[in-house]
A and B are shown apart, each in its own frame.
Chain A
């Protein structure tokens, strides 16, 4: 039962443009959502989060949007940089924390 879904395995964007990564969830009990960045042979690194009582959270170049009625969240990266190239995971929490399958972002110079 995949409660958190990332339907795009990969995304390629040009440096300086916007990257939009999407995530859908099925469990309406989730009350906290997170995005993680992961490099090979390393543990995931926290990027940004949002509580279910909000619909937007910004941190520098990163913004997360939450649409509870659609059970959908997205991560916007503006402007995208080559160093942003990594696998991005969305996650959702109640007591436990469930992850999507990840989206590999490639930012081309």
Chain B
């Protein structure tokens, strides 16, 4: 089932820095890529998503860069805040299927 891979497994940045989380996938049929944010004790919540027809999606401090040819994407969090400390999951799906999740990147933002 591991069709989506994420790196690094964990990441620590200082407040104000840009955190970069990487994701790659295998199935070229995937065309929708949501990123979910999960805090301890809670279920994951959609943060931002991109469709394969786009190469960039921006929402405030969160930006997805997408490279269809290389089957890679990344989530950039600019001006990182301690409140951004969470685990981030990259997912991928297509049509009416359920998304496949990566193993997650645990982000820690130090004040």
Decide whether A and B assemble into one complex.
no
Residue numbers of B with Cβ under 8 A of A are none
